[in-house]
Chains A and B, each alone.
Chain A
Amino acid sequence: MRFVATELTDDERALQREVREFLDVELAHGYYEPGLGMASGASKALSRKLGERGWLGMALPREYGGGERSVVERFVVVEELLRRGAPLEHHWTADRQSGPVINRFGSEELKRRFLPLVCRGELTFSIGMSEPDAGSDLASVSCRAVKVDGGYELSGTKIWTSNAHLADYAIVLCRTSDAEDRHAGLSQLIVDLHSPGVTVNPIPFLDGTEDFNEVVFEGVVVPADLLLGAEGQGWAQNTSELSFERAGPERWISPYLVVEHFLREYGDDLGPEAARFLGDSVARWWAIRQVSLTVARMIDEGRSPSVESALGKDLGTQFEQEVMARIQTLVDVEPSLVSSSAFQRLLARAVLVAPSWTVRGGTNEILRSVIARGLR
């Protein structure tokens, strides 16, 4: 498999400068506690301002409030946000995933209803895929939506649902028929998480944060017009949703701030081993970023780089963990989440959450099966 090198155009660089200048002001030091990549806290205020700037829903059509801009332009914006550890969880899922999927498969009415709000940073979405008994084997989901007057009645349990406690809606993959082909009976519903019958139970994450949830649906009525796409097409829609956005900056940038602060706090006193760590890491970071940018460019060219995306994610997330494994051998500290040192706080957080980087969004074992099939 080969990638063809690309680079930012002058217009894309101009956008990058604009975003940097905006964030330099908006995220002045001390105003927020930087997070690690996607897991960085939520700020409605920041999300709305990004919306005002036209930096959410960037690729969506203008008539729904989008910018009709490219995947690479979105790459430029999210890269700047992520590398500063900006609080972006309020809009993250809606901007990356839910908006584009509604645009792709939703009815005209759904697009008019949701997309302008996504572009303004006013909606938080969650992803309702995993279930207690359906993880990697997603086609075995058992959440069930039964046809009733005017819509569906949804019952079952989703799990590991990030930010469901903050979210307005979840796109839920569920079973709408018992077709023989287990893929054929699946559909996607947009579920209002404030509907009667929805219970969101927090599941404390191992670092003490509470983004993880179990979401229980007990006879939740979902109006027929909130069916996303066609009934029975849920599997195909869901697969397309997963495939392209896998290799974005969030898949290799997570420990970036740990390294930046390492350099800030120890930079005057680093020996050869630390230098080799930095050399190895920066070279690989630079190259993996090139892969990620290339995949974004391929999507803009109308191609479907699903295998390339999986490869980018596998490379990126393994690298993230390698960075964490090595940096811990260089410092003699017992990291603490409440240290007065920013490096130690970030290090502590990263040590605790690093194992999730190769699990979330589809495990690396599953990705490798996808890549291996693509190599044949």
Chain B
Amino acid sequence: MTVDRLLLETADRAFTDTCTHAAIQAAERDGWAPAIWDTAAGIGLPWIGVPDAAGGAGGTVSDGVAVLGVAGRHAAPIPLAETGLLAGWLLASARLPIGSGPGTVVPGRAEDDLRLAGGRLHGTAHRVAWARAAERIVALVDDKVVAVVPSAARIEPVANLAGEPRDTVVFDGVAVDEVADAPPGIDGDALLFRGALTRAGLMAGALLAMSELTVEYTSERRQFGQAVGRFQAVQVHLVRCAEEAALVDLAVQVAAREADRGDARFEIASAKLLADDAARVATRAAHQAHGAIGMTQEYALHHLSRRLWAWRAEYGDRTWPERLGRAVIDAGPDALYRVIAEGSASGIRT
């Protein structure tokens, strides 16, 4: 289950070329980055991890999550996770065509009230990533996978803390484009885990990039006649960032590997929980080490830190520690060590 290195190099090159500071700023202003999307789509990146047979670009879930890591590193402002690993996964699992062009998914928040009546979709969906730019919105409604064309719905533009579109979509008896029964195991909970895996993957990349940026900046910025990175107090911040990034990155690799094999709920919950913690701890350290420059739009840190704060809140956040803890309590003291060592394979029901 080793990840395709060449693929990652290709992705890195594509995002290095397209996700310039100006392009990311423009994407936030405009709500869409067609040039970045076209480049990524041109080499198939949004569909990595979706089987060839279903119309995807092939590769494992590990490949797809690793590509998200590269995207997170570059703060790529496109619905990469949504198109393939989320919407594409739901469609493929229901044997529906996955289509081309940007896709997105309804994350299924508690405040949503979607329902099907007479083959039409009613209700409001919240926090739908890039709904305004998507060619299809996929949702789980009444145990069915449905796809609709966004132009048939009313879209109220909303953005997350990083300025990425997280639109409110109102369906007012909209005709569904595609519909099929969700197969066993494909439900709101499975989507929550899958979504958490994609966010953790993006966050791992952003954390690594933030750590590197902070090391680089503090080795150049001089005060009191030396690089500020030479002060031990500043080094503590650098180390904090690097540790959290390395830990989350490794946790995500293992979670994706296990997802390719089967039950990865413990690993995904853990990886997202750790990423959420890191989003709090590492961003604080990185900003402190940067001083005032880190608080500006001109400098790149905010592309990463704001995304980490936004992604932390998506697909879970507050639910994971308690949910995981309940599963640990249910597994009982005799299983505790096996849970730590073997994760989902221990039989824990997360």
Contact = CB atoms under 8 A, between A and B. Distances in A.
A276 interface: yes
A294 to B, nearest CB: 7
Contact of A3 (B246, B257, B271, B325): B246
A277 B325 contact: yes
A368 B269 contact: no
Interface string A248-259: 000000001001
A60 B151 CA distance: 69
A260 B325 contact: no
Given A275-B325, A372-B229, A5 B257 contact: yes
Contact of B329 (A2, A267, A287, A369): A267
Contacts of B245: 1
B247 A365 contact: no
Contacts of B270: 282-283, 286-287
A272 interface: yes
Contacts of B323: 279
A311 B325 contact: no
B308 interface: no
Interface in B131-150: none
A285 to B, nearest CB: 5
B239 A284 contact: no
Contact of B238 (A2, A7, A276, A375): A375
A126 B277 CA distance: 39
B341 A289 contact: yes
A278 B326 CA distance: 8
Given A264-B333, A279-B323, A286-B340, A291 B246 contact: yes
A91 B235 CA distance: 37
A314 B324 contact: no
A1 B250 CA distance: 11
B99 to A, nearest CB: 33
B203 interface: no
B251 to A, nearest CB: 4
A296 to B, nearest CB: 14
Interface residues of A, number: 45
Interface residues of B, number: 48
A83 to B, nearest CB: 5
B336 to A, nearest CB: 5
B229 A284 contact: no
Contact of B337 (A3, A83, A288): A83
Contacts of A5: 250, 253-254, 257
A280 interface: yes
A282 B333 contact: no
Given A4-B253, A276-B321, A283-B270, A369 B235 contact: yes
B80 interface: no
B165 interface: no
A371 interface: yes
A275 B329 CA distance: 7
A272 to B, nearest CB: 6
Interface string A92-110: 0000000000000000000
B146 to A, nearest CB: 33
A278 B325 contact: yes
B343 interface: yes
Interface in A1-54: 1-5, 7
Given A5-B253, A259-B336, A283 B238 contact: no
A348 interface: no
A288 B328 contact: no
B44 interface: no
Contacts of A294: 250
A314 B321 contact: no
A261 B274 CA distance: 24
Nearest to B204: A2
B34 interface: no
A278 B269 contact: no
Given A5-B254, A260-B337, A279 B320 contact: yes
A270 interface: yes
A279 B254 CA distance: 18
B321 A311 contact: no
Interface string A276-309: 1111101111111111001000000000000000
Given A256-B337, A261-B333, A369-B235, A287 B326 contact: no
Interface in A122-176: none
A376 interface: yes
B247 A260 contact: no
B106 interface: no
Contact of B336 (A263, A280, A283, A315): A263
B250 A278 contact: no
Contacts of B253: 4-5
A274 interface: yes
A275 B318 CA distance: 12
Interface of A: 1-5, 7, 79, 83, 256, 259-261, 263-264, 267, 270, 272, 274-280, 282-291, 294, 311, 314-315, 365, 368-369, 371-372, 375-376
Given A290-B250, A365-B232, 18 more contacts: A83-B337, A260-B337, A267-B329, A270-B329, A272-B322, A275-B326, A279-B269, A279-B321, A279-B323, A282-B324, A282-B325, A282-B339, A283-B320, A283-B324, A284-B247, A286-B340, A287-B248, A311-B239
11 contacts: A1-B245, A279-B323, A282-B270, A282-B339, A283-B251, A291-B250, A311-B239, A311-B243, A375-B215, A375-B242, A376-B229
